[in-house]
């Protein structure tokens, strides 16, 4: 029987129902995280939970549990569901309260859920590369908060899919921000450029791992904005994200990037990323 975490307790998934007055359901009033699980281990779990806490604080919410408590719950969930390769989705909403734009009273309990899903690494796409379209970024000005409000992201991703593409790369007045569910970087003359971690992008954990890899291996990286023209003319373009890992983009708006195959630096980053995963997660957990 598949288990989920519901307000701090392991519960049977089939028995939990969403209240129609949950503020997450009515307003998207909450925050979330997606954490990768490799070989039964949380990958960069602390970083994701730290960001969850920051997202919650940014919307005036306090997490109902400490990071250590959440981590213990998540590890228990991985164990009981016997998850080896997959993700954990977790979200916290401002709780159940009669619909009102104002925050509910201080004693309203946040609703915290987490579930697991099996998912393999997207190895075939990572080897071959994927295509993208560019779209206008129509989101709000706090994209650094991992909020449940994802409607503009969904519209962008759907548009990409309808164009036969994997991702939509968003821009504000011609300046590239990020993908609909990933961060974007370019490589020009051996130097990586990626949007600085401002309010206009989500400060991706995979992006952070990539920055660390670059520092450790003397790969030059600049946290600077770049335009759509620079994107289309770059030698290499790649995405970073929890489920996408390091994903080469070989075509944007039907125009080839570089020679239309995954670039050297992107492939190098993929190798280093795999090493990081191995460092963290190569020993199977006892339950596997």
**In the complex, least distance from residue 120 CB atom to ligand PDD, rounded to whole angstroms:** 15
R_g over Cα of the chain = 19
Strand 86-93 relative to strand 111-118: parallel, antiparallel, unpaired?
A: antiparallel
**In the complex, least distance from residue 102 CB atom to ligand PDD, rounded to whole angstroms:** 28
Q: Which is nearer to ligand PDD, 94 or 207 (CB)?
A: 207
Tell whether residue 205 is a contact of ligand PDD (CB under 6 A): yes
Q: Using CB under 6 A, pick the residue from 73, 84, 97, 206 that binds ligand PDD.
A: 206
Q: Which residues are catalytic?
A: 146
Residues of 233-244 as b/e, b for ≥16 C-beta within 10 angstroms?
A: ebbbbbbbbbeb
Tell whether residue 31 is a contact of ligand PDD (CB under 6 A): no
Q: Using CB under 6 A, pick the residue from 129, 204, 258, 263 that binds ligand PDD.
A: 204
Tokens of 279: 């460092």
- Interatomic CA distance for residues 177 and 64, integer angstroms: 32
Tell whether residue 91 is a contact of ligand PDD (CB under 6 A): no
Tell whether residue 86 is a contact of ligand PDD (CB under 6 A): no
- Interatomic CA distance for residues 74 and 70, integer angstroms: 6
Stretch that binds ligand PDD, among 99-107, 213-221, 235-243, 267-275 (CB under 6 A): 235-243
CB atoms within 10 A of CB 116: 23
- Which stretch of DSSP H or E encloses residue 232? helix 228-233
Q: Where does this chain bind ligand PDD (CB under 6 A)?
A: 34, 153, 178, 181-183, 202, 204-207, 240-243
């Amino acid at each position: 029987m598949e288990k989920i975490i519901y307000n701090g307790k392991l519960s049977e998934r089939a028995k939990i129902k969403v209240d129609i007055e949950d503020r997450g359901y009515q307003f998207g009033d909450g925050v979330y995280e997606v954490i990768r699980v490799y070989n039964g281990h949380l990958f960069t779990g602390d970083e994701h939970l730290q960001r969850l806490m920051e997202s919650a604080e940014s919307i005036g919410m306090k997490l109902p549990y400490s990071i250590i408590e959440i981590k213990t719950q998540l590890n228990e969930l991985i164990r009981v569901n016997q998850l080896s390769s997959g993700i954990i989705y977790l979200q916290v909403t401002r709780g159940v309260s009669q619909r009102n734009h104002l925050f509910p009273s201080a004693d309203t309990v946040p609703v915290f859920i987490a579930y697991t899903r099996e998912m393999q690494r997207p190895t075939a796409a990572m080897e071959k590369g994927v295509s993208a379209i560019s779209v206008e970024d129509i989101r709000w000005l706090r994209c650094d908060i991992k909020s449940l409000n994802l409607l503009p992201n969904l519209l962008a991703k759907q548009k990409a899919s309808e164009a036969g593409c994997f991702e939509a790369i968003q821009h504000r007045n011609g300046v590239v921000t990020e993908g609909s569910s990933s961060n974007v970087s370019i490589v020009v003359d051996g130097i990586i450029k990626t949007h600085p971690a401002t309010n206009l992008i989500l400060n991706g954990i995979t992006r952070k791992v990539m920055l660390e890899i670059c520092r450790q291996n003397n790969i030059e990286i600049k946290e600077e904005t770049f335009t759509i023209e620079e994107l289309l003319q770059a030698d290499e373009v790649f995405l970073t994200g929890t489920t996408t890992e390091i994903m080469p983009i070989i075509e944007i708006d039907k125009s080839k990037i570089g020679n239309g195959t995954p670039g050297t630096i992107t492939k190098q980053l993929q190798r280093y990323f795999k090493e990081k995963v191995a460092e963290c997660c190569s020993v199977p957990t006892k339950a596997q």
